[in-house]
């Protein structure tokens, strides 16, 4: 299997080739290794290689049996795989037992190839950790992939693997998906397991685990493989009666869609990003849906502040847990300025501050609940700016104690934090704009628990405006 053949198929396509014995698992794994050799150097996407023989396919009957896969260097808890959190604080860290999401990835049959770069502890909107260096965008290596799941996004966009693990606590699945021309879903709060015996669950109210991929059906099938509550989950979301994969090909009823291209109190959205959303709106109208322009009465500035306050407790617990496991103290020598400043801020956070943030989060959730009484889907640009230059938001640009990075970098992906606060599912899809060489995308946000409508509408768009044939300049088949 050569690299052109390998990269032509999405994850389910490769799994079918393996299941029908058209190719062997060994051939597919060898192709993935060649793909890594071909393009990983200029991209710096996969930062820890693993021996596939040490991590064999755990379930030969899984939907993705034998499909090459990379984990994010943050929160994966795949036993035996490096898990440095892309931080000097986490060097040498590995887990001896699988966490919940890793166990489900294994049951899906993925073949682990390596661990992809993240920003340190998922803090930044660019994947440029001091430990691993910058990850570069396959569409333009002078540009960022976004963060914090930037390594996995670069690996998928360049054809190294068809699917990659990703996490999202404010946009970390969706922003890299948009900047790399991929599909990225942040599932509903509680849809996928988050619980961890070895790490804090304190971020579970804003952080979700899932994947980035090149096809909508891969994202849907991955959710079928990973969703469903663990016994005792605080927010148990049951598995649906129908598979998410089946929803991708199901034509939706006529939907009412709210279009918003700029939040209240937000900086202006880049015109190209606005164009992507408005073009998508026109496409949806041609498909028979009703689109109306709406702007929720929710301040972007308050959104970012609330998301940050909710992020603090679990982030602090996670950093301190890693420090305890590695025996490396948390200090200026082991943490980047934004991470250390956030840790210090979390130690000053009062119960009143956290309570107020929770109160406002509930208010925002109810406001979005009111919106969804009238509209099925909220359509926005996926991001508010085009991919920034590598280095513009590097950790070294911030002083010790400075937490302003959260608001500054949030302006790159202003449409992401709200769904993390409210727990709604949000799906980013590629939507290229003529004349723009860089990817932009759109975001579809649904009511809590309603991924099905997003997959139906997204499937319509994928059929109307297919993106699978679009490839970046840095690609394994280039």
For residues 106 and 236, the model is more confident at 106
Q: In this predicted structure, what is the pLDDT of residue 202?
A: 61
User: Is residue 198 pLDDT above 90, yes or no?
Assistant: no
Whether residue 477 is contained in a domain is answered as no
Alpha helices in 235-270 (DSSP H): 244-248
Q: What mean pLDDT value characterizes the chain?
A: 96
Per-residue pLDDT band at 204 (split at 50, 70, 90): confident
> Given the structure tokens 């308050």, which residue do they identify?
302
Whether residue 142 is contained in a domain is answered as yes
Whether residue 306 is contained in a domain is answered as yes
What are the pLDDT digits (tens) for 14-24?
A: 999 999 999 99
Whether residue 471 is contained in a domain is answered as no
Cα separation, 318 vs 102, in Å, equals 18
Whether residue 169 is contained in a domain is answered as yes
**Which DSSP category does 46 fall into?**
E
Cα separation, 154 vs 149, in Å, equals 9
Token pair, residue 376, equals: 């099925």
Token pair, residue 315, equals: 């982030």
Catalytic residue check, 72: yes
User: Is residue 9 pLDDT above 90, yes or no?
Assistant: yes
Catalytic one of 172, 316, 346, 384: 172
Cα separation, 94 vs 73, in Å, equals 11
pTM beyond 0.85, yes or no: yes
Alpha helices in 181-299 (DSSP H): 216-226, 244-248, 271-286
Catalytic residue check, 365: no
For residue 91, give its domain range.
3-464
Cα separation, 282 vs 393, in Å, equals 35
Number of separate domains in the chain: 1
What are the pLDDT digits (tens) for 218-239?
A: 999 999 999 999 888 878 899 9
- Read off the pLDDT of each residue in 168-187 and give the average, rounded to a whole number: 97
Whether residue 474 is contained in a domain is answered as no
Catalytic one of 7, 25, 72, 87: 72
Q: In this predicted structure, what is the pLDDT of residue 234?
A: 79
Cα separation, 33 vs 27, in Å, equals 10
Catalytic residue check, 148: yes
User: Is residue 378 pLDDT above 70, yes or no?
Assistant: yes
What are the pLDDT digits (tens) for 256-309?
A: 999 999 999 999 999 999 999 999 999 999 999 999 999 999 999 999 999 999
> Given the structure tokens 């940050």, which residue do they identify?
308
Catalytic one of 148, 215, 323, 416: 148
Whether residue 476 is contained in a domain is answered as no
What are the pLDDT digits (tens) for 49-85?
A: 999 999 999 999 999 999 999 999 998 999 999 999 9
Per-residue pLDDT band at 200 (split at 50, 70, 90): low
CA 5 to chain centre: 26
**Contact status, residue 431 vs residue 286, Cβ threshold 8 Å:** no
- Read off the pLDDT of each residue in 354-359 and give the average, rounded to a whole number: 97
Q: In this predicted structure, what is the pLDDT of residue 191?
A: 96
Q: In this predicted structure, what is the pLDDT of residue 235?
A: 83
CATH number at residue 178: 3.90.1300.10
Whether residue 215 is contained in a domain is answered as yes
Residues forming a β-bridge with 136:
144
């Amino acid at each position: 299997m050569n690299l052109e053949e390998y990269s032509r198929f999405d994850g389910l396509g490769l799994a079918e080739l393996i299941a029908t014995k058209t190719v062997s698992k060994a051939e597919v794994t060898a192709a993935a290794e060649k793909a890594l050799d071909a393009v990983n150097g200029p991209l710096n996407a996969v930062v820890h290689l693993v021996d596939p023989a040490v991590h064999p396919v755990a379930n030969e009957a899984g939907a993705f049996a034998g499909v090459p896969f990379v984990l994010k260097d943050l929160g994966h808890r795949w036993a035996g795989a490096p898990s440095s959190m892309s931080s000097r604080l986490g060097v040498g860290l590995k887990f001896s037992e699988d966490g919940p999401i890793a166990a489900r990835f294994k049951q899906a049959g993925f073949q682990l190839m390596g661990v992809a770069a993240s920003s340190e502890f998922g803090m930044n909107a660019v994947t440029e950790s001091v430990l691993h260096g910058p990850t570069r965008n396959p569409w333009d290596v002078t540009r960022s992939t976004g963060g914090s799941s930037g390594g996995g996004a670069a690996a998928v966009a360049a054809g190294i693997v068809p699917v990659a693990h990703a996490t999202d606590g404010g946009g970390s699945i969706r922003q890299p998906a948009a900047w790399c021309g991929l599909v990225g879903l942040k599932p509903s709060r509680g849809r996928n397991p988050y619980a961890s015996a070895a790490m804090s669950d304190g971020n579970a109210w804003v952080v979700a685990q899932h994947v980035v991929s090149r096809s909508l059906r891969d994202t849907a099938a991955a959710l079928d493989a990973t969703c469903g509550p663990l016994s005792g989950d605080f927010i148990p979301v049951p598995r649906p009666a129908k598979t998410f994969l089946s929803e991708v090909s199901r034509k939706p009823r006529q939907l009412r869609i709210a279009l918003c291209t700029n939040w209240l109190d937000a900086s202006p959205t880049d015109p190209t990003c606005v164009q992507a959303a408005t073009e998508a709106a026109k496409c949806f109208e041609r498909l028979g849906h009703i689109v109306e322009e709406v702007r929720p009465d929710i301040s972007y500035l308050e959104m970012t502040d609330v998301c940050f306050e909710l992020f603090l407790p679990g982030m602090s617990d996670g950093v301190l847990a890693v420090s305890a496991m590695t025996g490396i103290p948390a200090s200026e020598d082991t943490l980047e300025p934004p991470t250390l400043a956030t840790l210090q801020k979390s130690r000053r956070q009062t119960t009143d501050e956290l309570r107020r943030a929770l109160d406002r989060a509930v208010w925002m959730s109810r406001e979005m609940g009111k919106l969804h009484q009238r509209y099925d889907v909220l359509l926005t640009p996926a991001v508010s700016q085009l991919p920034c230059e590598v280095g513009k938001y590097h950790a070294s640009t911030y002083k010790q104690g400075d937490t302003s990075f959260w608001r500054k970098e949030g302006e790159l992906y202003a449409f992401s934090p709200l769904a993390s606060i409210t727990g709604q599912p949000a799906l980013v899809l590629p939507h290229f704009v003529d004349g723009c060489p860089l990817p932009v995308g759109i975001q579809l946000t649904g009511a809590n628990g309603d991924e099905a409508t997003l997959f139906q509408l997204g499937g319509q768009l994928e059929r109307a405006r297919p993106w699978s044939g679009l490839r970046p300049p840095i690609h394994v088949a280039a």
